[in-house]
Amino acid sequence: MNYLTKDDLIEINRLVIEAAQEGAVGVADPHGLEAIVQQPGQQFFGREAYPTIWLKAAFLLQKITKEHVFFDGNKRTAFMATAFFLDLNNYSLKVSAQDGQDLVIETTLSADTEEQMVKIALFIKENSTLIKR
């Protein structure tokens, strides 16, 4: 499994802010960012905290959206980071711009719970395809 680094997330945020031509680039919560980078691969007593690629992707989307680790562009960064994470692991997220926006808004407005993460993971799984390289 390939994971995103802190530098990856910072670069995605920079690109998102530059593309929008508005907002401040930078990390608002370095400790929160570090936690988001580390947690998808964590294991407890030999068991992964997030055992599927879909849960790992959902974790990234949910936590970047909810934790506001960047000064600006957290929701856009969350979506792009999720898509990039999937791509690194040979999957492509296939959603329309509207469906992607709806997913992020729903994530923003919903509770920060494991139950919601499972719903996000299911959406990501149902809307991803394997990339044959």
Three-state SS string over the chain comes to CCCCCHHHHHHHHHHHHHHHCCCCCCECCHHHHHHHHHHHHCEECCEECCCCHHHHHHHHHHHHHHHCCECCCHHHHHHHHHHHHHHHCCEEECCCHHHHHHHHHHHHHCCCCHHHHHHHHHHHHHCEEECCC
Q: Give the CATH number for residue 20.
A: 1.20.120.1870
Q: Which residue bears the tokens 């994470």?
A: 85
In a domain, 19, yes or no: yes
In a domain, 75, yes or no: yes
Domain that holds residue 33: 6-130
Average pLDDT in the chain? 96
Q: Name which of 130, 2, 4 is nearest 61 in CA terms.
A: 4
Per the structure, how many domains does the chain have? 1
Q: What pTM does this model have?
A: 0.94
Does 133 have pLDDT greater than 90?
no
The b/e string for 66-79 (b: 16+ C-beta within 10 A; e otherwise) is bbebbebbbbbbbb
> What percentage of the chain reaches a pLDDT higher than 90?
94
Predicted confidence (pLDDT) per residue in 47-74, tens digit:
999 999 999 999 999 999 999 999 999 9
In a domain, 1, yes or no: no
